[in-house]
Amino acid sequence: MNRKLRMGMVGGGKDAFIGAVHRIAANMDGLVELVCGAFSINPEIAQESGKALFIPENRIYLTYEEMMEKERLLPEDERMDFVTIVTPNFVHYAPAKLALESGFHVVIEKPMTFTLEEAKELKAIVERTGKLLCLTHTYSGYPMVKQAKAMIKDGVIGKVRKIVVEYPQGWLSRLSEREGNAQAAWRTDPKKSGKSGSMGDIGTHAAHLAEYVTGLQISELCADLSTLVEGRMLDDDGNVLLRFDNGARGVLIASQISAGEENALRIRVYGEKGGIDWAQEDPNNLILKLLDQPRQYIRTGNGYQAPYTLSSFATHNTRIPSGHPEGLLEAFGNIYRNFALTVSAKLNGETPTPEMLDFPQVDEGVRGMAFIDNVVASSEGAEKWTKFVV
Amino acid sequence: MNRKLRMGMVGGGKDAFIGAVHRIAANMDGLVELVCGAFSINPEIAQESGKALFIPENRIYLTYEEMMEKERLLPEDERMDFVTIVTPNFVHYAPAKLALESGFHVVIEKPMTFTLEEAKELKAIVERTGKLLCLTHTYSGYPMVKQAKAMIKDGVIGKVRKIVVEYPQGWLSRLSEREGNAQAAWRTDPKKSGKSGSMGDIGTHAAHLAEYVTGLQISELCADLSTLVEGRMLDDDGNVLLRFDNGARGVLIASQISAGEENALRIRVYGEKGGIDWAQEDPNNLILKLLDQPRQYIRTGNGYQAPYTLSSFATHNTRIPSGHPEGLLEAFGNIYRNFALTVSAKLNGETPTPEMLDFPQVDEGVRGMAFIDNVVASSEGAEKWTKFVV
Amino acid sequence: MNRKLRMGMVGGGKDAFIGAVHRIAANMDGLVELVCGAFSINPEIAQESGKALFIPENRIYLTYEEMMEKERLLPEDERMDFVTIVTPNFVHYAPAKLALESGFHVVIEKPMTFTLEEAKELKAIVERTGKLLCLTHTYSGYPMVKQAKAMIKDGVIGKVRKIVVEYPQGWLSRLSEREGNAQAAWRTDPKKSGKSGSMGDIGTHAAHLAEYVTGLQISELCADLSTLVEGRMLDDDGNVLLRFDNGARGVLIASQISAGEENALRIRVYGEKGGIDWAQEDPNNLILKLLDQPRQYIRTGNGYQAPYTLSSFATHNTRIPSGHPEGLLEAFGNIYRNFALTVSAKLNGETPTPEMLDFPQVDEGVRGMAFIDNVVASSEGAEKWTKFVV
Amino acid sequence: MNRKLRMGMVGGGKDAFIGAVHRIAANMDGLVELVCGAFSINPEIAQESGKALFIPENRIYLTYEEMMEKERLLPEDERMDFVTIVTPNFVHYAPAKLALESGFHVVIEKPMTFTLEEAKELKAIVERTGKLLCLTHTYSGYPMVKQAKAMIKDGVIGKVRKIVVEYPQGWLSRLSEREGNAQAAWRTDPKKSGKSGSMGDIGTHAAHLAEYVTGLQISELCADLSTLVEGRMLDDDGNVLLRFDNGARGVLIASQISAGEENALRIRVYGEKGGIDWAQEDPNNLILKLLDQPRQYIRTGNGYQAPYTLSSFATHNTRIPSGHPEGLLEAFGNIYRNFALTVSAKLNGETPTPEMLDFPQVDEGVRGMAFIDNVVASSEGAEKWTKFVV
């Protein structure tokens, strides 16, 4: 393609958080430009946000419906190519549906929808329209996560037996939703966030990471969701026993009241021949623990020689040489970059490479919503094991 | 006291592992001397072991019964003061019973007995004889574990909400019990080890650590025990959801097939105001994560000023200045030292200090055996929650 | 300002490395757009590079002289605002001089020039033209480096006594310049790189970091430069004893043959009351080691409460919440962002804040070149101490 | 041998620090028993110390001269085998000389003597008497240090090019010698400690470690010693450029005013093919950084398979399985153990193995004293390079 892709944004006004992260991720590689947006339901904030982002006035919209309608009518060489949706969970489905049906690809924050039902419908729409839906499970964008996935697929650690994935945070250790914290307010409100707090917000990331890295699927689970801060409307801590479709055992922990933790997502996978260990707060180290050998610290961006050569999926998602830390924004940028490369390839009539296609899509979004449903059902039930159904 | 305490040993011959560790721990501080032993049921090994340890021939015994009998008849200023029992689990109860009833204090490896029934009987014997029983839950001997306990007791992190305790090992990733590994052989044999492999060998350490550090007790649990190496006779992996008597939630992981892990016991406790984090493989760092403050790395042996002053329980169990790493043998030595100081104080008619008395005793042993029973019952049952009964 | 700044680029063709890094850094925050470039002295590469970057053909130039001339004549609302120079060291001065004298601000890679003489002349031109020169000493862009600087300025560790700054790399452990490594080739060629290899390429970063963080200046030094890979034309290892203008002592190590090291820049500063410790490969941790207190791990992006509140210089340069690692590209982006905010403020007739003005400028560039000269003079001399002269 | 070795002690009274460490190290393996001592020049302390150590009254001596004389006259099966000298530096030579000449082996703290002259004389006495002198350069007792030495000897990292050894401490950041700190008082007093503070106390450890691990010798140096705490009588900070006899370059840092550091001895050695990295505060990890491969973390006590098998020198000095941290006391114990095994072998007419003989002896002591002399001469001189002379 010989031009940047044009992005529109739903949500992400100047009072929001995640919208700014999406914009950095989209900007980074010079493949995407932000051309329009419906940044807020508050018209003043929408206007101010658009101006601060150098959007021409006529493309600062007050509703996403207006945006879809007007953009659809612009000439092809001007109108946006895709829409990024960064509103709270309960406003994911409607704009995504409208965007797809208006002919736009969609990038959407996780969890994909408010309910599993919506997720399944969205999947049907995606299939019907042939448009792409990209789900920003950010952590799968890290090069060392992709290296882990590649190594497990190649059998480096043998058949997987045990998975421990944990996502402790401490930011909801107080009842911040009553102290003017807007992020806390909507994320702990079942009308905006969904039926689980800890699982919707971060448990889905952990579950996705476990399935992405191992290529396995959760088949059964046993969950204990709790609300440990008095007065909160949703669970803020969850612990889940897992069983996977190959017989592997697992544990998933998602907590927002692990006081003092920041964003300590970590995954360990153990197989017959060794284990891997990756922690999001130290993302450029992938620890490989093989039986009978010293531990290996596999680090982003190295030109290791065979048999240690990094996977093409890792190197494709790395921008700078080893020893120059890449962080969350680059992982996020990888999702946008792969999505953009895929869209461009399609526009050019080319076939995207497997590396380009390696970003989370609608199927992962459906499984994420099913995960929430199954965990909540298990936690509320008296039976030990709940079959994972979609 | 103006003499060393005299120790006899049951088990710990030259072909064993843990006996040597006990001897180093006992030797370290010059408070104890090994004077006799029934080191093996194999007479040749018993003799050779005794000689290598410079034990006079007349005090190298061939059975523990002989040892108890003959030592009992020696003059008071010569006969042993206590017996250390380092045999496999199924040979704990009988020698402990005989030792106590013969007038000797006892040091014993965990798990305390083969069955919960034996544990309860041992408790009754301890109470009846007035002798001390010291259980070597080694990890509670680390100074930074004691510091964690002291800080939680002092309310530094507020009311405890969440506990994650994990003990992954990888040494049983292969069917080593069939490949001539004697340690693996008895530890995976239900006739010698008990009704659970992962829980008896290491899960009890994890459970003890959680209760020791927090001062709480497990009240309910939900367990998933698995045998992941084909052909093994006992479980080698276990994951347990926990509830504590103050309402706190928890997770306990004990695994012997986490390939590539060595001895990665770790505990994290989260309260209303912050969390603590301690890992056995890096034992001289206690990480304190308070809300709104930088993380603190509290390190063994420092002369911090108030309000950071280390607890007397930490300093009492530290031998060298900060920056000079203390390890497992010193933690083990602390248990022997406190036990020896307590015995000596009693011999001298003095009252042991709380710091001296801070070693695991028979009650902890009973809870450990109950933990195994409850976990096994839960794992075999279809109900989600099993009440922790003793 | 209500528009993005327009950037032109000298060098940075598709066969180069650092140009791409500059573009990501410039793109990231949506404040800058690349509008033109003279990307290579090879016309074909220049064209291909420009096209791949979506630059219109008429603004893909074949020489920097052509670029300056033609851009100067474009209408004000179209022509570039500043030039980024990412050529090898010996092609820094001429384009920078021409750009400044043509009315453009300049961003330039370090070391600023080929010789100290050129550096001094450039400084005179900057002063004469009133244009800004931004020097990309990337590592000073990290938030935790800025936090360290702020804390030292605030007296947190007391008067500085000792500085250890080290920059070990291993990428030149082989004679790669003879094996087709283009980066290695020019960087080890005294005609392109300058009079020192290790000091020009990385020693200047280390020296800048030491002076930036402490606010002190090197006053005397004693250097040992060596060429440890046979056949190399420039030194690849240097060790320097330092004395600072307040009497502090120091050591600076810059090495390209520390086999197995990636980019392990680290600085430790010790004062009367404590020390700070920061390592580039783990950039989101700033370790504060105060006397009599546990170590503090100060981490990027936290909302610590007083007295732990992060400096405005740290928070201004942070994009995402704690626990979401920021890396080198964000540090680099901070330099661009602050430069762009300063240029924009000036365009708008506003006064840039101290936080905006916090990027390396021409004076640092002159000191960097003087550092190289003084180190080389010391290394070649027989006297112990060489006064640092500019 | 069929008995423990009998140890006497000079110094190490209950008010001292290092004596207790020696006793733990000697006790640990059950190979040595303390039978007598001249623990203090203060008779009361001498008596109390001896009693607390359960020494019979007739073997608590008031002077070392008395001890040597009386022990010499005891029957062979009762008298001590060797003397441990743990007095301040200025009281090393005389008791060592007397002990050797009275027929006793000697264990002695570093630095070996007060002056280089004394060191050379002691060497002559050792040679003349045929007795062993063991110098407690503790850090060379760590298994992973021995592994590093073995790997370098085996050529794993190729020819050594660069050595960085550093030993920062912060405990003398204040003028503690004037505040009643007895350790600080004698160690900063040139009449008791010797002609350098930082180099005598810790620089000698660093220099020994560099030479021990690499098998190279320092051939030239350039030193900058400073007294950074006002009012102190000896230097408290030293930085040294090194050249080794094979042409390798190096840096040695020894500092007692690196505020907030505990005992952060670390050595990095870089060769043509890779580097090794070992830090005393994390002693069970040896990091191997080979070109073109992931980093390896080689950990104490593992049964790695070929080609990763640990050196016999590492395994001989390891007591417990991997994952069970060994610390400084075990490293110290290794020196005693090897010394004791060597003495026992000689008593038994056997040839000690190379592993047994692997403890620092009188030659290392002489080099240590020469190191101090050469560093002080360099620091006081105006010339850049000082040849290392013994």
- Concatenated DSSP letters for C215-234? ---EEEEEEEEE--STT-SS
Which tokens hold the place of B140?
Answer: 């509670």
What secondary structure does DSSP assign to D244-304, as a single string? Answer: ETTS-EEEEEEES--TT--S--EEEEEESSEEEEEETTSTTEEEEEETTS-EEEEETT--P
User: Taking the mean position of all CA atoms in its chain, how far away is CA D143?
Assistant: 15
Could you tell me if C118 and C169 lie in one domain? no
A46 phi and psi angles, rounded to 5 deg: -60, -50
Rounded to the nearest integer, the mean pLDDT of chain A is: 97
Is B234 part of a structural domain of the chain? yes
Could you tell me if B105 and B29 lie in one domain? yes
HSE at residue A2, side-chain half, CA atoms within 13 A, is: 7
Is B111 part of a structural domain of the chain? yes
Rounded to the nearest integer, the mean pLDDT of chain C is: 97
Contact yes or no for B305 and C292 at CB 8 A: yes
Residue pairs between chains B and D whose CB atoms are closer than 8 Å: 112
CATH number, position B259: 3.30.360.10
**pLDDT band with cut points at 50, 70 and 90 for residue A1:** low
Q: Which amino acid is at A351?
A: T
What secondary structure does DSSP assign to C70-82, as a single string? Answer: HHHHS-TTTS-SE
Looking at the predicted structure, is the pLDDT value of residue C222 above 80? Answer: yes
Give the model confidence (pLDDT) of A288-339 as tens digits.
999 999 999 999 999 999 999 999 999 999 999 999 999 999 999 999 999 9
| Residue range(s) defining the domain that contains residue C73 | 5-136
Could you tell me if D227 and D374 lie in one domain? yes
User: Chain A partners of C4 at a C-beta cutoff of 8 Å?
Assistant: 54
Is C356 part of a structural domain of the chain? no
Which tokens hold the place of A311?
Answer: 């996977």
Is A345 part of a structural domain of the chain? no
| C-alpha pair distances (Å), B115 with each of B190, B192, B195, C156 | 11, 11, 8, 58
Secondary structure in 3-state letters for chain A: CCCCEEEEEECCCCCCCHHHHHHHHHHCCCCEEEEEEECCCCHHHHHHHHHHCCCCHHHECCCHHHHHHHHHHCCCCCCCCEEEECCCHHHCHHHHHHHHHCCCEEEECCCCCCCHHHHHHHHHHHHHHCCCEEECCHHHHCHHHHHHHHHHHCCCCCCEEEEEEEEECCCCCCCHHHCCCHHHHHHCCCCCCCCCCHHHHHHHHHHHHHHHHHCCCEEEEEEEEECCCCCCCCCCEEEEEEEECCCCEEEEEEECCCCCCCCCCEEEEEECCEEEEEECCCCCEEEEEECCCCEEEEECCCCCCCCCCCCHHHHHCCCCCCCCCCCHHHHHHHHHHHHHHHHHHHHCCCCCCCCCCCCCCHHHHHHHHHHHHHHHHHHHCCECCEECCC
Best mutation target, A290, A293, A302, A322, to test chain D (most D CBs within 10 A) = A293
Segment D325-344 mean pLDDT? 98
Q: Does B304 touch chain C (CB under 8 A)?
A: yes
Could you tell me if C175 and C307 lie in one domain? yes
Could you tell me if C107 and C173 lie in one domain? no
Contact yes or no for D169 and B323 at CB 8 A: yes
User: Chain C partners of D260 at a C-beta cutoff of 8 Å?
Assistant: 270, 274-275, 288-291, 295
The whole-number pLDDT of residue B79 equals 96
Q: Which of D174, D259, D275 sits opposite C258 (nearest CB)?
A: D275
User: Taking the mean position of all CA atoms in its chain, how far away is CA D383?
Assistant: 31
The whole-number pLDDT of residue B16 equals 83
Cα nearest neighbour of A243 on chain B = B224
Give the model confidence (pLDDT) of A91-141 as tens digits.
999 999 999 999 999 999 999 999 999 999 999 999 999 999 999 999 999
Give the model confidence (pLDDT) of C362-384 as tens digits.
999 999 999 999 999 999 999 99
To the nearest whole Å, the CA of B151 is away from the closest chain C CA by 14
Q: Does C289 touch chain B (CB under 8 A)?
A: no
User: Chain C partners of B282 at a C-beta cutoff of 8 Å?
Assistant: none
Q: Does C377 touch chain D (CB under 8 A)?
A: no
To the nearest whole Å, the CA of A318 is away from the closest chain B CA by 27
Distance CA C329, CA C337 (A): 12
Is A129 part of a structural domain of the chain? yes
Structural domain count, chain A: 2
User: Chain C partners of D261 at a C-beta cutoff of 8 Å?
Assistant: 270, 275, 289
Contact yes or no for A330 and C326 at CB 8 A: no
Contact yes or no for B297 and C297 at CB 8 A: yes
Segment D148-158 mean pLDDT? 98
Q: Does A303 touch chain C (CB under 8 A)?
A: no
Could you tell me if B171 and B285 lie in one domain? yes
Contact yes or no for C257 and D162 at CB 8 A: yes
User: Chain A partners of D288 at a C-beta cutoff of 8 Å?
Assistant: 294
Segment D283-307 mean pLDDT? 97
What secondary structure does DSSP assign to D348-385, as a single string? Answer: TTPPPPTTTT-S--HHHHHHHHHHHHHHHHHHHSSBS-
* DSSP summary character for residue C307: T
Give the model confidence (pLDDT) of A232-265 as tens digits.
999 999 999 999 999 999 999 999 999 999 999 9
Is C88 part of a structural domain of the chain? yes
Give the model confidence (pLDDT) of C147-159 as tens digits.
999 999 999 999 9
In percent, how much of chain A has pLDDT > 90?
98
Give the model confidence (pLDDT) of D56-73 as tens digits.
999 999 999 999 999 999
Distance CA C239, CA A314 (A): 36
- By DSSP bridging, strand B266-271 and strand B274-279 are antiparallel
Segment D150-162 mean pLDDT? 98
**pLDDT band with cut points at 50, 70 and 90 for residue D1:** low
Domain boundary among A135, A162, A184: A135
Domain boundary among C136, C169, C200: C136
Could you tell me if C235 and C282 lie in one domain? yes
Q: Does A288 touch chain D (CB under 8 A)?
A: yes
User: Chain B partners of A198 at a C-beta cutoff of 8 Å?
Assistant: none
Could you tell me if C153 and C45 lie in one domain? no
Contact yes or no for D321 and B262 at CB 8 A: yes
Distance CA C20, CA B347 (A): 77
Angle, to 10 degrees, between the axis of helix B93-101 and the axis of helix B116-129? 10
Could you tell me if A63 and A21 lie in one domain? yes
To the nearest whole Å, the CA of B110 is away from the closest chain D CA by 17
Cα nearest neighbour of D33 on chain B = B30
Could you tell me if A130 and A163 lie in one domain? no
Is C330 part of a structural domain of the chain? no
Segment A59-84 mean pLDDT? 97
Cα nearest neighbour of D321 on chain B = B262
Could you tell me if C99 and C153 lie in one domain? no
Contact yes or no for B325 and D320 at CB 8 A: no
Domain boundary among B90, B118, B135: B135
Is C329 part of a structural domain of the chain? no
Distance CA C14, CA C12 (A): 7
Q: Does C250 touch chain D (CB under 8 A)?
A: yes
**pLDDT band with cut points at 50, 70 and 90 for residue C1:** low
The answer to whether the beta carbons of residues B228 and A249 sit under 8 Å apart is yes
Segment A81-87 mean pLDDT? 98
* DSSP summary character for residue B200: I
Contact yes or no for D294 and A303 at CB 8 A: no
CATH number, position B66: 3.40.50.720
Neighbours of C216 (CB within 10 A): 20
Angle at C56 between CA C51 and CA C60, to 5 degrees: 70
**pLDDT band with cut points at 50, 70 and 90 for residue D332:** very high
- Using CA atoms in the order B230, B235, B239, B244, what is the torsion angle rounded to 10 degrees? 170
Contact yes or no for B270 and A258 at CB 8 A: yes
Contact yes or no for A294 and D292 at CB 8 A: no
Distance CA C7, CA C108 (A): 12
SS3 C240: strand
Could you tell me if C96 and C185 lie in one domain? no
Angle, to 10 degrees, between the axis of helix D116-129 and the axis of helix D362-380? 170
Q: Mention every residue, 6+ apart, whose C-beta is less than 8 A from residue C79.
A: C6, C71, C72, C73
**pLDDT band with cut points at 50, 70 and 90 for residue A16:** confident
Angle, to 10 degrees, between the axis of helix C18-27 and the axis of helix C328-347? 60
Q: Please state the ipTM of this predicted complex.
A: 0.97
Angle at B8 between CA B3 and CA B10, to 5 degrees: 160
Query: Chain B, 180-199: which have a CB under 8 Å from a chain D CB?
Result: none
- Using CA atoms in the order C214, C216, C220, C222, what is the torsion angle rounded to 10 degrees? 10
User: Chain A partners of C28 at a C-beta cutoff of 8 Å?
Assistant: 24, 27-28, 329
SS3 B83: strand
Average pLDDT per 10 consecutive residues for chain B, totaling 390 residues: 91 90 98 98 96 97 98 96 97 98 97 97 98 98 98 98 98 96 94 96 98 98 98 98 98 98 98 98 98 98 96 98 98 98 96 98 98 98 97
Going by C-alpha positions, the residue among C52, C97, C99 that lies closest to residue C80 is C99
